[in-house]
Amino acid sequence: AQTVTQSQPEMSVQEAETVTLSCTYDTSESDYYLFWYKQPPSRQMILVIRQEAYKQQNATENRFSVNFQKAAKSFSLKISDSQLGDAAMYFCAYRSPSGTASKLTFGTGTRLQVTL
């Protein structure tokens, strides 16, 4: 079974600064998908960014980018120019490519605080 580990329960960043959230995973599969989700106080899960394992290029979405290291099974999220609205719980998630009906396995989450 796949596991996802987020070793940082809480992180803090100053507004306009950059922060990196860590995520590692364990799998024996060669093809899979990785995601970062944001859960603000409203509890609504919001997809931040996704990465296909077969793609070597790191995904980028505006201020959000990932550092995907397949051999190391690492998938960190970098938030640049942090904003107050970025404060939330961030979950890293893994999905197998097939045969599992798109099941997501989530990490335990990192709570991000953004300070002035």
Partner 1 sequence: GAVVSQHPSRVICKSGTSVKIECRSLDFQATTMFWYRQFPKQSLMLMATSNEGSKATYEQGVEKDKFLINHASLTLSTLTVTSAHPEDSSFYICSAKKGLAGGYEQYFGPGTRLTVT
- Nearer to partner 1 (CB atom), residue 39 or residue 80: 39
> Could you tell me the smallest distance in angstroms from the CB atom of residue 75 to partner 1?
15
Residues that bind partner 1 in the complex, under the rule CB under 8 A: 33, 37, 42-47, 50, 91, 95, 97, 101-109
Whole-angstrom distance, CA of residue 4 vs CA of residue 6:
7
- Nearer to partner 1 (CB atom), residue 54 or residue 81: 54
> Could you tell me the smallest distance in angstroms from the CB atom of residue 105 to partner 1?
8
The residue with tokens 């490519």 is 97
- Nearer to partner 1 (CB atom), residue 13 or residue 93: 93
- Nearer to partner 1 (CB atom), residue 72 or residue 101: 101
> Could you tell me the smallest distance in angstroms from the CB atom of residue 114 to partner 1?
19
Whole-angstrom distance, CA of residue 115 vs CA of residue 62:
21
